[in-house]
């Protein structure tokens, strides 16, 4: 993998050239910390440990672990998960969604399609909020009304208490819709879960300037 230094002020921006289109690969963008890039350079591959999620989200980690645990179990049935990969690495079809962070690296990847799980990021955001995923907004509103009828104020209560096993099962069953949500989805909303990033997938790597 190569590394491009940030340009000096006043220089003309040069956009990275996307690889030629291929039916077997997909171009994705991700933003990663320096330690991740260093690992790719040293080992040729990087994976994520579950403890990273706990450190990143602190007290809210339990709810993210519910969502991440669901994704891990479903995604590994689509793409086999290496033993070293305890959680997914997120990438996007659009560079803007990779949320560049000063001091981190923006990576353009060309990934074999059979190595990534694609989905609609809007559906994933519902799962992160532990919400029901309906086939339509009408169906979702009906479920919200059912929660209200049973005195549930927040969807997270279904997971933080043992009192609503049937409703909880309905929610987790609805999440299965994530894994076919990329079909016909506009590229603006396509997100990918990767079990690893391999050095040969990295086509462009640039460190973003600190502010």
Residues 6 or more apart whose CB falls under 8 angstroms from that of 82 comprise 47, 195, 196
Closest by CA position to 191, among listed 100, 101, 122 = 122
Q: Return the half-sphere exposure (C-beta side, CA atoms, 13 A cut-off) of residue 201.
A: 27
| All structural domains of the chain | 25-129+182-207 (3.20.170)
45-46/197-198 β-pairing: antiparallel
Q: What is the spatial distance between Cα 56 and Cα 70, in angstroms, rounded to a whole number?
A: 18
Instruction: Kindly report, residue by residue over 138-193, the tens digit of the pLDDT.
Output: 999 999 999 999 999 999 999 999 999 999 999 999 999 999 999 999 999 999 99
Q: pLDDT in tens for each of the 211 residues of the chain?
A: 655 443 333 333 445 666 665 789 999 999 999 999 999 999 999 999 877 666 665 666 678 889 999 999 999 999 999 999 999 999 999 999 998 788 899 999 999 999 999 999 999 999 999 999 999 999 999 999 999 999 999 999 999 999 999 999 999 999 999 999 999 999 999 999 999 999 999 999 999 875 4
Asked if residue 128 lies in contact with residue 64, where contact means CB atoms within 8 angstroms, the answer is yes
Paired tokens of 48: 């994520």
Buried b / exposed e along 23-50 (16+ C-beta atoms within 10 A):
eebbbbbbbbeeebbebbeeeebbbbee
């Amino acid at each position: 993998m190569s590394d491009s230094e940030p340009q000096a002020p006043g220089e003309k921006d040069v956009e990275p050239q996307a690889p030629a289109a291929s039916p077997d690969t997909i171009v994705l963008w991700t933003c990663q910390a320096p330690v991740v890039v260093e690992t790719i350079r040293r080992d040729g591959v990087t994976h994520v440990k579950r403890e990273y999620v706990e450190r990143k989200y602190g007290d809210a980690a339990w709810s993210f672990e519910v969502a991440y645990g669901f994704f891990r179990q479903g995604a590994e049935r689509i793409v086999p998960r290496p033993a070293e990969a305890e959680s997914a690495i997120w990438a996007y079809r659009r560079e803007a969604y990779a949320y560049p962070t000063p001091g981190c690296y923006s990576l353009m990847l060309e990934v074999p399609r059979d190595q990534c799980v694609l989905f609609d990021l809007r559906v994933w955001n519902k799962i992160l909020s532990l919400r029901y995923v309906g086939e339509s907004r009408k169906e979702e509103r009906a479920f919200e009304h059912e929660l209200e009828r049973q005195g549930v104020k927040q969807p997270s209560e279904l997971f933080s208490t043992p009192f609503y096993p049937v409703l909880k099962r309905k929610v987790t069953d609805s999440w299965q819709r994530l894994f076919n949500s990329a079909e016909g989805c506009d590229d603006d909303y396509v997100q990918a879960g990767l079990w690893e990033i391999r050095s040969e997938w990295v086509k462009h790597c640039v460190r973003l300037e600190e502010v």
